[in-house]
Amino acid sequence: MFCPQCEAEYREGFTECSDCGVALVEALAPPLDRAEVAPGLTAMMETVNVEELGEIVDRLEKAGVPYTIEAGTALALLDGRDDEVPHPWQARLSVATELLERAERIVEQARRSHRPYEPPVG
Ligand SMILES: [Zn+2]
């Protein structure tokens, strides 16, 4: 059970978040920008930062989380859009849907430990 407001997880049997006072729900609704790109595979983030991506991938592999990366300057075409092609290079990371929550924690940790890096513009 989850609090839809603060996203805290509760054991079965709880019905209300002790912090927020709102009714718990069975599952949190996924953010709108996360879509299943194939059965069992969910796109979870995009990045233009190769170093950050490397750090994340390294951690996902150590944690045994299956993932795929689509990268290039024409991701918009994969989405059925052709209005911004070619686009500056970017990568989209998708992970096994059943391990999405774990992957999110890993991405958060990787981003925290990663040195800030400004990609060159243009
Ligand atoms: Zn709450």
Residue 71, pLDDT score: 94
Segment 83-107 shows an average pLDDT of 91
Residue 111, pLDDT score: 82
Task: Dump strand ranges (E) for the chain.
Answer: 36-38, 41-47, 67-72, 90-96
CATH superfamily of 36-113: UreE, C-terminal domain (3.30.70.790)
Segment 65-81 shows an average pLDDT of 91
Q: How far is the CA of 78 from the centre of ligand 1 (A)?
A: 37
Q: How far is the CA of 44 from the centre of ligand 1 (A)?
A: 23
Q: How far is the CA of 80 from the centre of ligand 1 (A)?
A: 38
Q: What is the pLDDT of residues 4-24, one digit of tens each?
A: 778 889 998 999 999 989 888
- The residue extents of the domains of the chain are 1-29, 36-113
Q: How far is the CA of 95 from the centre of ligand 1 (A)?
A: 27
If pLDDT is split at 50, 70 and 90, which confidence band does 32 have? very low
Helix (H) or strand (E) holding 17: none
For a pLDDT cut of 70, what percent of the chain falls above it?
89
Dihedral over Cα of 44, 50, 52, 55: its sign: positive
Q: Name the pTM for this structure.
A: 0.64
